[in-house]
């Protein structure tokens, strides 16, 4: 959009020496029409030409096409003609409007709209109360001319970054490449957001016959008899394959390792028949967190049973979205089931299993009927018996489990 506005602005700057009131209006209308949806707003923002003038230009264009001998081809408004802009009659209007939009930076910290919505109607009402009689349509045109637009919150603030964040990223990258060169499996693991199971609304839209949307519940109150789906994902970085274990109870360390064990039993062992080691990349918190004792106890049991040496690395705190499973698997799942109510657990499993991407991602999903108890406390003497070996760099984030009898 920014590139489009710059292009429109450049065209008008180049044409300005030969444009009069009529040709400027027609050019603006032609540009807005060619841009399609949002074209009028883009031209207004780039040139300052009001949307009413552009709309009038579009009507003129239609008349010219329909009537080639139309007087519009020769009639030109005299310089300075036409209705004067509202700023001519109310020169302080723009300043008053900006004080309502940004009260803390425009010198009006007591603005009545500081703590409430700033809709066009509310802005128009507050301006009128201050003696500036203006409708909401003109308020919208003024905002565009002043460089404002409707915007949502942007997630950019990550919070305080750990000083070793980048070095941990480099460590994970080095270990991943080393394991891949050795032909050993590398997996990214995490739990996807829990999903309500039932006739509930699901974000997103999909193509359907006009006027026939899927009917869902008005309120998203969980059904106690159904509950939530807990999808735990295992993403094979090398093979671009994934396994998702859909749980029906709690997201615990036991459930996390059970999901990894299910991946190994159904997929990993066949894909890597000669594997001796397994490298896992997980988030810093949650069921697979670096401080989760149950997670570590279950990993030791997994190592003992399979004979694999398990190497674990955790993403630094606050960087879960950087984990490959997030943007290579979970985002694809969300796109695949957008707009579809997750009415049953079978629907959840089938939608996950049908997820694909242009890169060739293949996903296998299964339902885990077992119940995993919350709040299991691991005795300290049990953790002391773990065959865990911490890495010299951030042993709390990087460690290994060796099989033990």
Report pLDDT for 98: 82
For range 52-59, the mean pLDDT: 90
Break the chain down into helix, strand, coil percent, rounded to 5.
45, 10, 45
Determine contact, residues 403/387, Cβ cutoff 8 Å.
yes
Span 130-163, pLDDT tens digits:
889 888 888 888 888 877 877 777 776 666 778 8
Report pLDDT for 77: 55
Q: Are strands 388-390 and 186-191 parallel, antiparallel or unpaired?
A: unpaired
Calculate what percentage of the chain has a pLDDT beyond 90: 52
Which range scores top for mean pLDDT: 51-60, 75-84, 102-111?
51-60
- pLDDT value at 362 more than 60: yes
pTM, entire model: 0.68
- pLDDT value at 328 more than 80: yes
Report pLDDT for 79: 58
Determine contact, residues 306/263, Cβ cutoff 8 Å.
no
Rounded to whole angstroms, how far apart are CA atoms 316 and 239? 25
Q: Residue 227: name the closest of 366, 326, 368 by CA.
A: 368
What are the phi and psi torsion angles at 391 (to 5°)? Answer: -75, 155
Span 165-217, pLDDT tens digits:
999 999 999 999 999 999 999 999 999 999 999 988 888 877 667 777 888 88
For range 266-295, the mean pLDDT: 96
Band the pLDDT of 253: cuts 50, 70, 90: very high
- pLDDT value at 89 more than 80: no
Give the alpha-carbon dihedral of 28, 33, 39, 41, to 10 degrees.
50
- Least-confidence region, from 50-64, 259-273, 285-299, 358-372: 50-64
Rounded to whole angstroms, how far apart are CA atoms 49 and 195? 47
- pLDDT value at 229 more than 80: yes
Report pLDDT for 112: 63
Burial class of residue 402, CB neighbours in 10 A (0-12, 13-18, 19+): middle
- pLDDT value at 397 more than 60: yes
What are the phi and psi torsion angles at 352 (to 5°)? Answer: -65, -45
Report pLDDT for 145: 81
- pLDDT value at 401 more than 60: yes
């Amino acid at each position: 959009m920014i590139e489009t506005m710059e292009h429109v602005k450049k065209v008008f700057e180049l044409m300005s020496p030969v444009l009069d009131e009529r040709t400027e209006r027609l050019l603006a209308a032609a540009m807005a029409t060619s841009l399609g949806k949002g074209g009028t707003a883009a031209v207004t923002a780039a040139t300052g030409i009001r949307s009413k003038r552009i709309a009038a230009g579009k009507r003129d264009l239609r008349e010219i096409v329909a009537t080639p001998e139309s007087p519009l081809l020769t009639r030109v408004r005299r310089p300075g003609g036409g209705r004067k802009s509202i700023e001519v009659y109310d020169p302080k209007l723009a300043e008053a409007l900006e004080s309502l939009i940004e009260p803390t930076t425009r010198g009006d910290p007591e603005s009545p709209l500081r703590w409430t919505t700033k809709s066009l109607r509310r802005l128009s009402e507050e301006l009128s109360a201050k003696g500036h009689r203006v409708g909401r349509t003109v308020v919208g045109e003024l905002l565009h001319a002043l460089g404002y637009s409707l915007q949502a919150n942007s997630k950019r603030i990550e919070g305080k970054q750990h000083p070793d964040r980048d070095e941990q990223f480099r460590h994970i990258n080095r270990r991943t490449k080393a394991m891949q060169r050795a032909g050993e499996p590398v997996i990214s693991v995490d739990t996807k957001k829990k999903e309500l199971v039932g006739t509930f609304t699901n974000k997103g839209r999909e193509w359907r016959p006009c006027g026939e949307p899927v009917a869902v519940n008005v309120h998203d109150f969980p059904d106690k008899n159904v509950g939530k789906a807990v999808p735990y994902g295992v993403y094979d970085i090398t093979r671009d394959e994934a396994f998702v274990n859909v749980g029906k109870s709690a997201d615990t360390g036991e459930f996390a390792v059970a999901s990894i064990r299910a991946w190994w039993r159904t997929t990993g062992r066949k894909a890597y028949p000669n594997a001796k080691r397994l490298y896992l990349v997980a988030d810093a918190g949650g069921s697979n967190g670096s401080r989760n004792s149950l997670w570590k106890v279950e990993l030791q049991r997994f190592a003992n049973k399979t004979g694999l040496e398990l190497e674990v690395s955790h993403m630094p705190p606050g960087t879960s979205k950087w984990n490959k499973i997030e943007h290579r698997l979970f985002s694809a799942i969300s796109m695949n089931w957008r707009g579809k109510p997750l009415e049953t657990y079978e629907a959840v499993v089938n939608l996950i299993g049908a997820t694909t991407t242009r890169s060739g991602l293949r996903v296998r999903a299964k339902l885990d009927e077992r119940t995993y108890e919350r709040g299991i406390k691991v005795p300290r003497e049990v953790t002391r018996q773990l065959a865990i070996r911490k890495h010299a760099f951030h042993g709390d984030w990087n460690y290994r489990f060796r099989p033990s009898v």
